[in-house]
Amino acid sequence: MAASNFFLLTAFIALVATQAMASDPSPLQDFCVADKHSPVRVNGLPCKDAKDVSVDDFFLAANLDKPMDTTKSKAGSNVTLINVMKLAGLNTLSISMARIDYAPKGQNPPHTHPRATEILTVLEGSLYVGFVTSNQANRENKLFTKTLNKGDVFVFPQGLIHFQFNPSYDKPAVAIAALSSQNPGAITIANAVFGSHPPISDDVLAKAFQVDKKAIDWLQAQSNSSINLNMASSNFFLLIPLIALVTTQAMASDPSPLQDFCVADKNSPVRVNGFPCKDAKDVSVDDFFLAANLDKPMDTTKSKAGSNVTLINVMKLAGLNTLGISMARIDYAPKGQNPPHTHPRATEILSVIEGSLYVGFVTSNQANGENKLFTKTLNKGDVFVFPEGLIHFQFNPSYDKPAAAIVALSSQNPGAITIANAVFGSNPPISDDVLAKAFQVDKKALYKKHRPLLVHKQKFHQLNMASSNFFLLTALIALVATQAMASDPSPLQDFCVADRNSPVRVNGFPCKDAKDVNVDDFFLAANLDKPMDTTKSKAGSNVTLINVMKLAGLNTLGISMARIDYAPKGQNPPHTHPRATEILTVLEGTLYVGFVTSNQANGENKLFTKTLNKGDVFVFPQGLIHFQFNPSYDKPAVAIAALSSQNPGAITIANAVFGSNSPISDDVLAKAFQVDKKAVDWLQAQFWENNHN
C-alpha cells in the first residue's frame, strides 16, 4: 500500500507540478562564473569579474569515484550533486552532474526536477527505474519501468516524476547522472505532498488521493520522518534553498519540450528541427533505454589520437529528442588524447572514472585580443566544465596507464568539430590560399617545412575515421538542422539597455534605469560606410563589430552587426562564433566563402563553398568553422554581416590553437595535427594577430 502510494501520488501532479519550463539562460559570453558573494539577486547568479576567473572555477575535486555513505539515509541512498552552487563555472551553462549511491534495497524516492531532463548510466550493480507521464489525453498517468544493468543508459524526461530502486538484497549500486540545468532542483513527492510546511489541508489531500482523512493524517504523521528522509537521503536538499531565490530561467540551446516527451521518429519522412515525434501510443520504455555498455573499456588501439568516444545522443537513444542532453564515455590510451575540438551546440561536464587527464579550453578573443588557455590536471573522481562552443581537449599524460571519463553535453545532438580534421581534412579541401594566410606560413613552407600539415590531408581523414565514434554518431547533423534556438535570453521587457558602469556582473549586462534611457542608447555613428584600414593586418582584413559593448541598446536582444573589409587577396581566416549564426551580404567586390560541417556519418567534415558577388547573401550556421577570402589580385571587397547574439564571440582557429596564452602543450598539438613537435613550436612562436576591432 505504502509503495503503491507513490504512484497514486502522481495524480497530484496536475495540482502541484511544475511542468517543464524551458531550461537555463544561454550564455552571453564565454563564461559567467558565479559570484556567490554578491548581494545582487538575478536569474541564476551574478558573474565574477573575468580578470579574477581561474581554471579552478571550472574544476572540483568532487571524489565522484568514491562510494558515499548510504547508512544514514532511511531511503538507503546518497545523491552527490555537482551543480552551480558547488561548481561556480556552471553558471549560465545549463548542465550539472551527480553520483548516486544505493544501499541494497535502497532507493532514490519518487521526485521531479522542475528544470532538467536527467540521463543516467549504471556504474555498479542493477537498478529498477521508472517514470510516470503527466495526465495524457486519456487522463491516464502511464508508468514506464526498466531494470538496468551496469553500463546501461536511461532518460528521465524533464519535469516527470521518477525513481530508482536497487533490487538487490546484498549488493550496493552506483549511478552517474547528468541533468540539463545548472540548478535542476528536486521535488521529492512524498515530502512535498505530505511533509510541506504548513501541511496541505487533509480535506484537499483526502479528495486528491481519494482516501479518507484518517489515511491522510496517518501519511502526514510520517511526514516528520519524510523530512528526515529528505535531509538525510540526499545532498539535493541542501542545495535547493536557492531555488526559491534564483527564479526559473528561460532559454536553452535545444528546443524546449512542449509535452512530456517527443521520442524521435527516425523513420518519418518529415524533417523538422530535431526529429518529429513518435505517436505517444507507440512509445515504450525501451525508447528511453540503451544497453550502451558504458561500463566497458573501449578499444583505443585503432585510433591515431589514442582515444575512443562513445556518444549516446538522440541518434542512438530516441527518447532524448527535445530534451537537451546527451552523454558519452571517453577512453584514452596511455599518451592518448581527445584532440582540440568544439561542440557547436553544447557545454560539456566531465568526470574522470579511471586514470588522470590533462585538460584545457581556450577563450574566444577577449577585449585585449587574447585567447586565454585554462588547463588543469584531473584525477579520478574530479569534475571539469568546458563552456559552450569553446575549443577544448583532453590528454592522458601517463606513459603506461589508460584513462576514462564520463561526460554529459547540454544538447541532444551536440556536434563535434575536431579542429585539425575540419581545417586540414575537409572534403573538398579548403583552398591553400586561405590556409597559408590563416596559419601565417607561406604555401611553400606549408608544403616543405610543415609538409604534413597540408600534403597529408588524407591522413586527417584517417584520423577522423579512426579517432572517435563521434564521427559515426553525428550522422544526422546535416539532416536534423541545427537546433540552436536563439542563443540569447528572451527580453522580459521592451528593452534593457546595458548599464556598463554598474559594478554588478550578470549574464550579459544589468539594465540602465528605463527613465535614463534615450534614443542615443540605440544609436551609433559607426561609420560603417567608410573603408577600414586593411594594411596593418597580416590576414588582409579588418572586422568592425558593433556588439553590446559598443551599442548598449543591444543588451538582451540577441543580435549584432559587423562591417568587414578585405584587401586584395585578403581573408577573414577560419573562425567560429560560439554563440551565433551569421548572415552576410557583399557590398563591394567578390568573396569566396565557406564553412565546414561538424563530423558527418561517413566521418567526413564537408566543406561548402561559394563565390559571392555584390548583393549576394550567405549564411554561416552557429558554431561552425567558416571563412571569407577575397580572390581578387587588385580590388578590395566589403561585406556587412549580422550575428544572432549581442556578443557572438570569435574564435580564430589558428590563433586559439597556436597563439593561446599560455601555449597549449606541444604534446597535445603534435598529435592533434600529426606533425612533429618542432613544427608546432615553430607555429607557436609566430605572432598571432587579431583582425577584429
Q: Which is nearer to ligand NAG, 73 or 182 (CB)?
A: 73
For 333-395, strand residue ranges (E) read: 337-342, 348-354, 357-362, 373-378, 383-386, 391-395
Q: Which is nearer to ligand NAG, 338 or 469 (CB)?
A: 469
188 near ligand NAG (CB under 6 A):
no
- Which span sits near ligand NAG by CB under 6 A: 333-341, 358-366, 529-537, 645-653? 529-537
Q: Which is nearer to ligand NAG, 234 or 483 (CB)?
A: 234
**Cβ contact 305:468 at 8 Å:** yes
What are the backbone angles phi and psi of residue 563, rounded to the nearest 5°?
Answer: -105, 135
**Shortest Cβ distance from residue 557 to ligand NAG (Å)?**
26
Q: Which of residues 476-515 bind ligand NAG (CB under 6 A)?
A: none
Helices vs strands, H then E, count in the chain: 17, 32
Residues contacting 661, CB < 8 A, separation 6+: 370, 371, 372, 373
Exactly one of 299, 442, 520, 676 binds ligand NAG (CB under 6 A); that residue is 299
Taking alpha carbons only, the member of 34, 29, 28 closest to residue 48 is 34
Helical residues (DSSP H) of 382-473, grouped into ranges? 419-424, 432-438, 443-447, 451-455, 457-467, 470-473
Exactly one of 91, 487, 537, 571 binds ligand NAG (CB under 6 A); that residue is 537
- Which span sits near ligand NAG by CB under 6 A: 299-307, 579-587, 606-614, 661-669? 299-307
401 near ligand NAG (CB under 6 A):
no
Exactly one of 526, 532, 601, 642 binds ligand NAG (CB under 6 A); that residue is 532
d(CA 570, CA 592): 11
640 near ligand NAG (CB under 6 A):
no
Please name the residue that has the C-alpha cell 517514470: 131
Please name every residue paired with 571 in a beta bridge, in sequence order, or none if there are none: 629
575 is in an annotated binding site: yes
Residues contacting 685, CB < 8 A, separation 6+: none
Helical residues (DSSP H) of 211-304, grouped into ranges? 213-221, 223-233, 236-239, 241-245
Q: Which of residues 229-268 bind ligand NAG (CB under 6 A)?
A: 232-233
**Shortest Cβ distance from residue 67 to ligand NAG (Å)?**
7
Q: Which is nearer to ligand NAG, 323 or 564 (CB)?
A: 564
Question: In this structure, which amino acid lies at residue 65?
Answer: D
69 near ligand NAG (CB under 6 A):
yes
Distance from chain centroid for Cα 442: 36
Q: Which of residues 72-91 bind ligand NAG (CB under 6 A)?
A: 72-73, 78
Exactly one of 112, 303, 322, 394 binds ligand NAG (CB under 6 A); that residue is 303
Residues contacting 509, CB < 8 A, separation 6+: 496, 498, 499, 500, 502, 548, 552, 555
Residues contacting 691, CB < 8 A, separation 6+: 537, 539, 541, 542, 543, 572, 573, 652
Please name the residue that has the C-alpha cell 596564452: 661
Total residues interacting with ligand NAG, rule: CB under 6 A: 25
The gap between the terminal CA atoms of the chain, to the nearest Å, is 68
Exactly one of 221, 258, 455, 492 binds ligand NAG (CB under 6 A); that residue is 221
Q: Which helix (H) or strand (E) holds 684?
A: helix 677-685
626 is in an annotated binding site: yes
Q: Which is nearer to ligand NAG, 38 or 222 (CB)?
A: 222
Q: In which region does residue 489 sit, left (phi positive, over 0), alpha (psi from -120 to 50) or beta (all else)?
A: beta
Q: Which is nearer to ligand NAG, 39 or 198 (CB)?
A: 198
d(CA 502, CA 479): 44
- Which span sits near ligand NAG by CB under 6 A: 52-60, 443-451, 453-461, 534-542? 534-542
For 83-132, strand residue ranges (E) read: 96-102, 107-112, 118-124, 127-132
Q: Which is nearer to ligand NAG, 298 or 485 (CB)?
A: 298
- The set of cell numbers assigned to 110 is 519518487
> If DSSP codes are grouped into helix, strand and coil, which group holds residue 523?
coil
Exactly one of 515, 536, 633, 687 binds ligand NAG (CB under 6 A); that residue is 536
**Shortest Cβ distance from residue 471 to ligand NAG (Å)?**
8
466 near ligand NAG (CB under 6 A):
yes
d(CA 82, CA 62): 8
> If DSSP codes are grouped into helix, strand and coil, which group holds residue 339?
strand
What are the backbone angles phi and psi of residue 556, rounded to the nearest 5°?
Answer: 70, 5
- Which span sits near ligand NAG by CB under 6 A: 8-16, 64-72, 341-349, 392-400? 64-72
693 near ligand NAG (CB under 6 A):
yes
Dihedral angle sign, alpha carbons of residues 678, 681, 686, 690: positive
Name the strands in the sheet holding 173-179, side by side, starting at the edge strand that comes first in the sequence. Answer: 77-82, 96-102, 173-179, 118-124, 153-156, 289-290
Q: Which is nearer to ligand NAG, 221 or 685 (CB)?
A: 221
Q: Which is nearer to ligand NAG, 78 or 92 (CB)?
A: 78
**Shortest Cβ distance from residue 327 to ligand NAG (Å)?**
16
Exactly one of 542, 644, 645, 665 binds ligand NAG (CB under 6 A); that residue is 542
- Which span sits near ligand NAG by CB under 6 A: 54-62, 138-146, 531-539, 657-665? 531-539
d(CA 479, CA 468): 21
602 near ligand NAG (CB under 6 A):
no
Taking alpha carbons only, the member of 68, 83, 98, 96 closest to residue 173 is 68
d(CA 474, CA 214): 56
Using CB under 6 A as the criterion, what x/- string covers residues 201-220 for binding ligand NAG?
-------------------x
**Shortest Cβ distance from residue 199 to ligand NAG (Å)?**
6
> If DSSP codes are grouped into helix, strand and coil, which group holds residue 188?
strand
**Shortest Cβ distance from residue 509 to ligand NAG (Å)?**
25
Q: Which is nearer to ligand NAG, 199 or 276 (CB)?
A: 199
691 near ligand NAG (CB under 6 A):
yes
Q: Which is nearer to ligand NAG, 138 or 301 (CB)?
A: 301
- The set of cell numbers assigned to 169 is 538484497
Q: Which is nearer to ligand NAG, 131 or 471 (CB)?
A: 471
Q: Which is nearer to ligand NAG, 50 or 528 (CB)?
A: 528
> If DSSP codes are grouped into helix, strand and coil, which group holds residue 101?
strand
Please name the residue that has the C-alpha cell 562564433: 577
Exactly one of 533, 613, 633, 687 binds ligand NAG (CB under 6 A); that residue is 533
- Which span sits near ligand NAG by CB under 6 A: 8-16, 301-309, 418-426, 449-457? 301-309
Peptide bond into 428 cis (omega under 30): yes
Q: Which is nearer to ligand NAG, 222 or 684 (CB)?
A: 222
298 near ligand NAG (CB under 6 A):
yes
Exactly one of 121, 308, 351, 630 binds ligand NAG (CB under 6 A); that residue is 308
Binding residues for Mn(2+): 575, 577, 582, 626
Binding residues: 572, 575, 577, 582, 626
Q: Where on the chain is the footprint of ligand NAG (CB under 6 A)?
A: 68-69, 72-73, 78, 220-221, 223-224, 232-233, 298-299, 302-303, 308, 466, 469, 532-533, 536-537, 542, 691, 693
Binding residues for oxalate: 572, 577, 582
